[in-house]
Homo-oligomer: A and B are copies of this chain.
Amino acid sequence: MDDKLMLMIPGPTPVPEQVLLAIAKHPIGHRSGDFSKIIGECNEGLKWLHQTKNEVLTLAASGTGAMEAGIINFLSPGDRVLVGNNGKFGERWGKVAQAYNLNVEIITAEWGQPLDPEKFREKLEADKEKEIKAVILTHSETSTAVINDLETINRHVKAHGEALIIVDAVTSLGATSVPVDEWGLDVVGSGSQKGYMMPPGLGFVAVSPKAWKAYETAKLPRFYFDLGPYRKTAAKNSTPFTPPVNLYFGLQVALKMLKDEGLENIFARHLRLTKATRAAVKALGLGLLAADDVASNAATAVAPTQVEAEEIRTVMKKKFDIALAGGQDHLKGKIFRIGHLGFVSDRDILTCIAAIEATLQELGYESFTPGAGVTAAAKVFAES
């Protein structure tokens, strides 16, 4: 049916009506006092969401742009960096670092597995000359729905003392606690179409005082993504270039909604949605790509063995107007991903699981008890 689409992909995520209506307002001048107030309120809300007193800067860019800004503002050509790669996004940050002629060392883990913090510890401890200038990694790897042990890896970075930690929190921010100040995260990048309950188009970068110190001597070329002018203008509730004013209107409303819900409730909700989804998938006898203890709260990657992942996606879209994400690169056709990030409620999970059950029946998959998925999800909701 037209206009009946239900987004259950890990971005873009569903957007609340009040956010959409705010975005539909007539633009106002970006240098007006009225707009300054909106920027000011957004900046405060972003700090709250990031649990930080540091600046959180907003760019007209996707999350990739925000991460690129987070990398190129604090490093110089030839700088040695460690990049964690256990999926599509970790892989991408390695490519960004290479494009800027950094001395890149990639620490890999198989897609579906988390990065091993020990490998970071070994490299960092062996670096007596303090040549490693940054460790770049993805917190929640969206392509596999695996969460990396950022807390432990960050502890090893802190023990090194010199290296900055640059974190892709694109699908962890607003789903999982990312305590920027408590952990001392230097650079944290994210994008609006994820936990923010917003359409895509805005990128965010949180920057620590230690990173600003590195900025002073960092020599990689940049202009649009030069964070210095963003910092300077943010202090005056302004921006260096024309900001996407309508997206700011939406961000103001979305951040208010998030504040009203409260950080603890937001994180508990995402955890509950994840547990319910995984319990349902297990009850249906479908495989899970990631183990329970490394499951991201943003999405669940399902790896069915007796039925084609792409067939499930096709029927779900065609018959029930539910968009699920496929696998990327070599996981294409092997997994499908259920997004439960952002403006997603318990009811949405019940809906999605019920539709998956109906789809499995349609596809003639017989190794499950009809109703078992919904029942398993309902049990999680009843108990939490």
Residues of A near any B CB (own CB < 8 A): 3, 5, 7, 9, 11-15, 20-21, 23-30, 32, 60-65, 68, 95-96, 99-101, 191, 193, 199-201, 220-226, 241-247, 323, 325
- Whether B24 pairs with A7 at a CB distance below 8 angstroms is no
B13, B14, B65, B325: the one within 8 Å of A60 (CB): B65
A193 to B245, CA, bound (A): 10
B12, B32, B99, B223: the one within 8 Å of A99 (CB): B223
**Besides the known contacts A27-B193, A199-B246, 16 further A-B residue pairs in the complex with CB atoms under 8 A apart:** A5-B26, A12-B30, A15-B27, A60-B201, A61-B224, A62-B243, A68-B223, A68-B224, A96-B224, A193-B242, A200-B242, A201-B244, A221-B221, A224-B225, A244-B244, A244-B247
Q: Which residue of B lies closest to A92 (CB)?
A: B223
- Number of this chain's copies in the complex: 2
- Whether B68 pairs with A245 at a CB distance below 8 angstroms is no
- Whether B7 pairs with A224 at a CB distance below 8 angstroms is no
A65 to B69, CA, bound (A): 13
CB-defined contacts of A323 to chain B, threshold 8 Å: 28-29, 32
CB-defined contacts of A247 to chain B, threshold 8 Å: 199, 201, 244
Q: Is the interface of A mostly helix, strand, loop or mixed?
A: loop
B191, B225, B226: the one within 8 Å of A242 (CB): B191
Q: List 17 A-B contacts (CB under 8 A).
A: A7-B27, A7-B28, A12-B242, A20-B25, A27-B199, A30-B200, A32-B323, A62-B242, A63-B241, A64-B242, A65-B224, A65-B241, A99-B222, A101-B221, A200-B244, A200-B246, A244-B247
- Nearest CB of B to A7, in Å: 7
A64 to B229, CA, bound (A): 13
Give the interface centre of A14, A224, A244, A245 by most chain B CB atoms within 10 Å. Answer: A224
A63 to B224, CA, bound (A): 10
